[in-house]
Amino acid sequence: FCTPKASSAFVLFINDRLVESAPLRRAVESVYVDTLPRGAKPFVYLSLELPGPHVDVNVHPTKREVAFLHEDRLCDALARATKEVLGS
């Protein structure tokens, strides 16, 4: 399923908390570039359990935007796992 060009549907839960992470969203969306119609965005619901010390919730005053320890490695692993699930 994909959303219209102007919108994006990326629902992310980290340790049962609804959050936002632009790097994780970009990592997942990059996998879909060759699969979806040009400009379309995937609908993604992702729930991850990570060690508490690896998640920085103090990025934004609302605690909605998060950062991660070893963020690059996490994004790479997520992209690889998404490719594997899609069979790419």
Percent of the chain with pLDDT over 70: 85
Q: Residues 20-53: pLDDT tens digits?
A: 999 999 999 899 887 888 878 889 999 999 998 8
**Angular region, 48: left φ>0, alpha ψ -120 to 50, beta rest:** beta
Residue linked to tokens 């994909």: 2
